[in-house]
Structure 1
């Protein structure tokens, strides 16, 4: 059972140190107790080892800490004060109540792989591991959140569907005070580039040691049923090789739709598992019931995660009760040529301007359209300014990968789907690995060069099974949306949603009706664009024509509809 908790803070008369330790004691049952300037109501569920009440401190942990338990965290805080945060390694969200000083502290790991959501309003404050806790759902709908979800497909920059509710920024220690949140970074990505000359062979040797230690650290914290999400690319096969070297019994899995196509992820993954002696299973990514998939995305994703096309596979996996899930998220894959502007860098990390909403906003009343555009544009400009703190080129790209793409696009999907029952482990995002990566010269970062070289050096048989040529589990969402009959849609339209205040269900109906089957010419055009795009990014094309421009990702009509329908269900 995963830990979930919500803390509600209501102003009260300040208490002295002695008074703070008298009266109703701290508890996890929801009974209010005094803490400094607050009356605290704490509701928590989960394993006992993730909850602590000491005479001076209360702690709640969601996720996993490596090389330290929760008692060790309390001792570290007593000894080091706020510097304790910098010394933690793991995939976690942590709440700490200092009963002597009256402080309320919240933090997550360096990439926010587990979230803490916060609201500070009218002198009261709430922190929760769930974006859908009751206090949050009572808030007005967030225009910026809706805009981000529809133009980008996810909640960028810590937004949620609810006005004033955000996930706490990663790698910072946040103190909840009556006047607001006081947030101080406990770690900054070291993106200054090489501080000394390093030979390629030495870089590979250093990274090999870091990767092996990162995997071993996570294996020590793992339970008895370790799973690995295995595709046909470099990253996950590298993890399979590293895990096998530790002697860990690994259950691998991949996705398919019906049968594995030649050269697809699932076909290659099956051969890889056999090569390394792992048990493998192929899960059906989508079983053909679109309305069920939408409801599952709303119920599990809660508007905090991008639409998960493999939701049916994750539901099947959850039934097997895995204890741990290893995944290959990484930030080695910077572009071979430095991106030329902050706007282009945001395009790279899937943060797009409001123009991507035109498919929808052209059909909305002008005041609603203008409000959505204005709200998301203001947020977009804030992210644009955030990127300016790093020098142009690779440092800025890496900085935004670590500050936006990983914490808000990729990792929420892992937390809300793969992490419902299992602990998530991402060895390539280990702190030591990230700090090493920030010191590398650009040539070793481009196109994952250093990662690929190191993995092949560690395991010369890594490419014995060729790389996959295609995912092989992508559903035709246009066809799936068109396949739903008006009678099947009717229960969904009959259920009211708070999104209806902004976007009338009739607008969504008209968008569905506008789908139509693409003409032969349209299909040929899309296929040609895809082929030319891949060709344009080959090394030869880059040498001949220079680096291609990284353009903003405009949502397709089927993609926009999946986001709209999911968000409407979330807000029902």
Structure 2
């Protein structure tokens, strides 16, 4: 089980076994590289008090450590792992509320004979589990559970339908008997059985600050968050696209390091060979990233590298298989995923930790559909107005009927909206925008965080996401929409908070998502793979995706698939086919 996770932790492996528990760990060494080995034991090895297998980072570990020292705790390492262990011994199961960071861990309390599985508030770090008899199997990725001989992979049709619908129901997977621990939850296993409880969730609170105070508070929060997330004993960089989000983080990081007499910041962006000639702008993706990334790098003074990827880096069987191996699930954004994995692999040659602008759009309202009155008024997941893996009418009819696909998605939507806590004074529009913000943070963001974690950790790269700090999210979630969009544009508050740090062209730049290749060789390869799939009557994907509709796509003129969105149905069919075959589900 532990060996399957070797890419997540290429630096070391460790095990701890007792009568009722076995813990395995793969280490990506970030802090106290020499002594922070795991599983980590608190107390004597012959009779430990607690043992921890831990993934992630706790960014306030230095403050917690100082408090624990005052309370009499003695530390053997400088690692945040030991701080988590000692915090549990001091404060008990409620200690998790004190942790600020991204984490997933298993903690065995040897005195109480109790296992705790814990996941961070936003679900930045993954954690899967499967109840098995009187116990539980668990791991950072499905592959760890699947490696156990007592777990048999079986397809769960409704779980697959939920994934294909982009409903993002917390905890659900397309494998029967396998669950994902929801963000902000703890799973407890002891002699009384298995049970979960939520320790954190989005709450609605009155926002009393005016616009200048709100903007200033966001700036102060971001500076504190980035300062904490710059702590590492290994090389760190930023992912710089030239958009507002990544540029803001890079500028703040540069200012902090410059104030310490350190730096410069290392930054990386991605581009495709021939992109200047191949690029075709659209409403969804209006311009190329690279000119803006270069502009920001020069403005801030970063040590910048552009990673250029040729078409063949995206079209090989190996490149596609690497994405499947990373995800473990039939979840794909096509060449976005393939290029992300290749980018992370190249960055890993220079850095072990990277800061990413992921989640700023969800937190601050950056997507175009936040500002589309028609989408806002529609009772459905807003992202489905622009983003789908497979349109519902392209799914196999039998699959739709046996899963009640439309009803399943509608039920998932109603469940998500029912979780929203409204304030008495909110008018109809404010209530709706609060719902849309909540939907993005609890249903859409986890999909993106899962992708970012899986593809980066498959390359042995830790990606930190400052915009997911729970303090920032709690504050910004409660900013009224009229303040969030005070200048009539997307991400007004964030733009105001960093206005003094960035070039005007970047501050005024329209939202542009992660780039995709415009190289026609990619479309040729995608068409050829899809045609081959359709020629195979035994293709398991055709039990879920309608063959006739796929053929209609292939009949469209060459050059039609000029965007990730138009390619998604074919990409999904191909990934689904590979996943079903590889995991023995066909």
Q: Shared fold (TM-score greater than 0.5)?
A: yes
Q: What aligned pairs does 1:29-178 form with structure 2 within 5 A after superposition?
A: 29=15, 31=17, 33-34=18-19, 39-46=20-27, 47=29, 48-54=36-42, 55-68=48-61, 69-133=80-144, 134-135=147-148, 138-152=152-166, 156-177=169-190
> Conserved in 1, the CA contact under 8 Å of 2:248 and 2:502?
no
Equivalent-residue separation in structure 1 for 2:25 and 2:377 (angstroms): 42
1:564 partnered with 2:559: no
**1:467 matched residue in structure 2:** 509
- Residue 567 of structure 1: how far off its partner (Å): 3.0
User: Judging changes above 3 Å, is the alpha-carbon distance between structure 1 residues 256 and 118 closer, same or farther for their aligned structure 2 residues?
Assistant: same
> Conserved in 2, the CA contact under 8 Å of 1:227 and 1:251?
yes
User: Judging changes above 3 Å, is the alpha-carbon distance between structure 1 residues 44 and 50 closer, same or farther for their aligned structure 2 residues?
Assistant: closer
SS of 1:132's equivalent in the other structure is helix
Equivalent-residue separation in structure 1 for 2:255 and 2:115 (angstroms): 42
Q: What aligned pairs does 1:251-290 form with structure 2 within 5 A after superposition?
A: 251-261=266-276, 263-285=287-309, 287-288=311-312, 289-290=315-316
Equivalent-residue separation in structure 2 for 1:445 and 1:465 (angstroms): 16
> Conserved in 2, the CA contact under 8 Å of 1:193 and 1:438?
no
- Residue 337 of structure 1: how far off its partner (Å): 6.8
Per-residue deviation, residues 438-475 of structure 1 (Å, max 9, x unmatched): 3312212242111111111x426454686378665334
User: Judging changes above 3 Å, is the alpha-carbon distance between structure 1 residues 124 and 51 closer, same or farther for their aligned structure 2 residues?
Assistant: closer
User: Judging changes above 3 Å, is the alpha-carbon distance between structure 1 residues 566 and 175 closer, same or farther for their aligned structure 2 residues?
Assistant: same
Equivalent-residue separation in structure 2 for 1:466 and 1:445 (angstroms): 16
Equivalent-residue separation in structure 2 for 1:181 and 1:430 (angstroms): 29
- Residue 50 of structure 1: how far off its partner (Å): 4.6
Equivalent-residue separation in structure 2 for 1:229 and 1:377 (angstroms): 39
**1:550 matched residue in structure 2:** none
SS of 2:195's equivalent in the other structure is strand
**1:426 matched residue in structure 2:** 465
**1:244 matched residue in structure 2:** 254
Q: 2:227 aligns with which of 213, 216, 221?
A: 216
5+ long unaligned stretches in structure 1: 7-26, 531-552
Q: 1:300 aligns with which of 293, 316, 326?
A: 326
User: Judging changes above 3 Å, is the alpha-carbon distance between structure 1 residues 102 and 58 closer, same or farther for their aligned structure 2 residues?
Assistant: same
- Residue 260 of structure 1: how far off its partner (Å): 4.0
Q: 1:481 aligns with which of 517, 526, 530?
A: 526
Q: Which piece of structure 1 moves more, 228-237 or 288-297?
A: 288-297
Per-residue deviation, residues 112-167 of structure 1 (Å, max 9, x unmatched): 11111011143331111121122486231121232234343x96533333112121
- Residue 111 of structure 1: how far off its partner (Å): 0.7
> Conserved in 2, the CA contact under 8 Å of 1:284 and 1:313?
no
SS of 1:29's equivalent in the other structure is strand
Q: 2:217 aligns with which of 203, 206, 223?
A: 206
Equivalent-residue separation in structure 2 for 1:80 and 1:351 (angstroms): 46
SS of 1:344's equivalent in the other structure is coil
Q: Which piece of structure 1 moves more, 120-129 or 339-348?
A: 339-348
Q: 2:402 aligns with which of 371, 377, 395?
A: 371
> Conserved in 2, the CA contact under 8 Å of 1:29 and 1:43?
yes
User: Judging changes above 3 Å, is the alpha-carbon distance between structure 1 residues 493 and 40 closer, same or farther for their aligned structure 2 residues?
Assistant: farther
> Conserved in 2, the CA contact under 8 Å of 1:324 and 1:422?
yes
1:453 partnered with 2:496: yes
Equivalent-residue separation in structure 2 for 1:103 and 1:400 (angstroms): 34
**1:396 matched residue in structure 2:** 435
Per-residue deviation, residues 478-503 of structure 1 (Å, max 9, x unmatched): 543224497x879x969x9xx83x74
1:324 partnered with 2:353: yes
1:190 partnered with 2:165: no
5+ long unaligned stretches in structure 2: 7-12, 30-35, 43-47, 62-79, 258-262, 280-286, 423-430
> Conserved in 1, the CA contact under 8 Å of 2:352 and 2:462?
yes
TM-score, with structure 1 as normaliser: 0.76
SS of 2:52's equivalent in the other structure is strand
Q: 2:243 aligns with which of 230, 233, 240?
A: 233
